[in-house]
Chains A and B, each alone.
Chain A
Amino acid sequence: MKNHDTHSTGYLTYAIVLIVLLFLTTLSVFITGIHLGAFTVALALLIASVKVATVLTYFMHLRSENLFLKLAVAGVFVLFALVIIITFFDYLFR
């Protein structure tokens, strides 16, 4: 059985993705120098989320996978976020 991946991502694409990731990393290090209180955290996490989404989409080939897998990955992150939020229903309101 042939296992040719008809979607073979090019080396250049990967290199560009890495540059983007490195840029985002630099950005997040830079941001921590700026004191925005709680927003610093939020911003750092937001940048991290963009990096994660980028790795998932390009390095892990999610963009060429079927819809079910894309939904499942999204669902896993949503489920985890919900668990944290619901736990904070306790901690925030004690």
Chain B
Amino acid sequence: MTNQEGDHYISYLDQQGKYRGLLSWLLSTDHKRIGLMYFYVIATFFFIAVSLGLLMRTELIAPGETIMSPQTYNGLFTVHGIIMIFIIVIPGLSVVFGNFFLPILIGAKDVAFPRLNLFSFYLFLLGAIMAVLSQFLGDGPPDTGWSFYVPYSVESSTNVIFALTAAFILGFSSILTGINFIVTIHRMRAPGMTFMRMPLFPWSIYATAWIQVLATPIIGITLLMVIAERLFGIGFFDPALGGDPILFQHLFWIYSHPAVYIMILPAMGVVTEIFPTFSQKPVFGYTAIAISSLTIAFIGYFVWGHHMFTSGTSYFSRLFFSLLTFLVAVPSAIKVFNWVATMYGGSIDLKPPLLYAVGFIFLFMIGGLTGLIQGALATNIQVHDTAFVVAHFHYIIFGGMGFAAFAGIHYWYPKMFGKMYNIRFANIAWVVIFTGFNLFYFPQLVIGMQGMPRRYFDYLPQFKTGQVISTIGSYILVTGLLMMLINLLATRKKGKTAPANPWKGVTLEWQIPSPPPLENFDVIPEIKRRPYFFGESKNDK
């Protein structure tokens, strides 16, 4: 192809090797193609899960049965959670942007184990398909909630084992990706790129990958235990057989809390790339951001009990977990400070990536602060298992990681596809999304505090106003999402060709053509300084 600069080369999109056409994608071990395949699957499942969410919101627009039975509602929130958590937000930014950009950002031609990478993708696809099939096979879609708490997950007659197996396979895919990324970062950085010269998105991927490998196996074995409980009555979690249901909660959250850091760390890494570019200024506090990623990963391993404050754990344990929960907020706050300080005094260019990144800060802060309200023992009792919790995690996962994902998509779209989208339309979509988001989730904070339970398809009349506003907000939000989607899809076909460096970025991905050639670099660059050098002159790097 000919890029905007007039060079002839073969981009990774057009490269035909041993195989042709569709097969050249399905059997490709190129990290960029694998990243894109993950992207298409995840985007598809995202809109499926969003639709399920919209159905739930429609049900909740009025008390009582509106459009579905209670059993259906329970099945919906379960599968909405399973898809969103295990198929979208846990793999999400790692497998899409990690795969696509980690090698490029460290000056490598691919990841350490390209074939293992493809295998990870197919495991992911298998797990995702199984999660869908669990809806239609056996005795009905699981209704346990995505957290599969015992005893109900053992007693429920629905197709729990299938869903558990799907989660197990997805976890295995996550582990293999984590291994791949750790080894890639250790062994394949360009000459001269020490750890302290590595850009901050790779740093975040590094911290995330360690969590992936050290936490995911625990959920693996826990799921196997639940299956053993269902099939053989093994007794670990059954009080009648001497077991303890709280033990399940411990095991479950020992993984699932670090899992939220798997979700958010790459997101933080993405926005950390965006702020310097759109402020045309180096990142403030590079070392603090790098180390805080590792710190969050480490401390995040020891806070799991804050999901169990009302379950009957010991007072000492609750004190410990509450303290650690407040502690883990500190490195996150350091990052927020550094992002704002990066923008301060910079030459701000308010393009869509920055809009989403700034939106990220705002929504992430609300999510984080509401997390602290839950982290305090006394207030936790008021809000546990209410809509407050639901709003908290949607602010932090959707408002946080989701907005960072949108930011990353708008940032790297021209690089990945060689086309530039309509900026004005993207900005308008952002306004609609941001408005709809807050209209949707803020009332949930309020009614949750007032006592509206979560996972309830019915509610008392006093919550009606909040629920109606939320539902309206959800429709506005989805409209904005569709606008964003249409903009990006249309650009593939009709968009203008994008230059190699539309945003005047200084990291390695902007030094290669848009879209990149198959092996990324003709010559592996030699790194001589820290990243984010905007220089005295107008030259990049």
Contact = CB atoms under 8 A, between A and B. Distances in A.
Whether A and B touch directly in their complex, counting CB atoms under 8 A apart, is answered as yes
Interface of A: 68, 76, 79, 82-83, 86-87, 89-94
A94 B316 CA distance: 9
Most buried by B among A76, A86, A92: A86
B313 interface: yes
B317 interface: yes
B302 interface: yes
Given A76-B214, A79-B214, A83-B254, A89 B316 contact: yes
Nearest to B250: A87
Contacts of A76: 214
Given A89-B320, A90-B250, A83 B301 contact: yes
Interface residues of B, number: 15
Interface of B: 186, 214, 246, 250, 254, 301-302, 305, 312-317, 320
B214 A90 contact: no
Those 6 A-B pairs whose CB atoms lie nearest each other, nearest first: A93-B314, A90-B317, A89-B317, A93-B316, A90-B313, A94-B314
29 contacts: A68-B186, A76-B214, A79-B214, A79-B301, A82-B301, A82-B302, A83-B254, A83-B301, A86-B302, A86-B305, A86-B317, A86-B320, A87-B250, A87-B254, A89-B316, A89-B317, A89-B320, A90-B246, A90-B250, A90-B305, A90-B313, A90-B314, A90-B317, A91-B314, A93-B314, A93-B316, A93-B317, A94-B312, A94-B314
Contacts of B214: 76, 79
Contacts of B315: 93
Most buried by B among A76, A82, A92, A94: A94
Contacts of B250: 87, 90
A57 to B, nearest CB: 22
Nearest to B246: A90
Contacts of A68: 186
A93 B319 CA distance: 12
B420 to A, nearest CB: 42
Contact of A92 (B186, B246, B301, B314): B314
Contacts of A90: 246, 250, 305, 313-314, 317
B214 to A, nearest CB: 7
A73 B312 CA distance: 34
A76 B218 CA distance: 13
Contacts of B302: 82, 86
Contacts of A89: 314, 316-317, 320
A94 B318 CA distance: 11
A83 B95 CA distance: 28
Given A86-B317, A86-B320, A87-B254, 10 more contacts: A76-B214, A82-B302, A83-B254, A87-B250, A89-B317, A89-B320, A90-B246, A93-B314, A93-B315, A93-B316
A82 B298 CA distance: 12
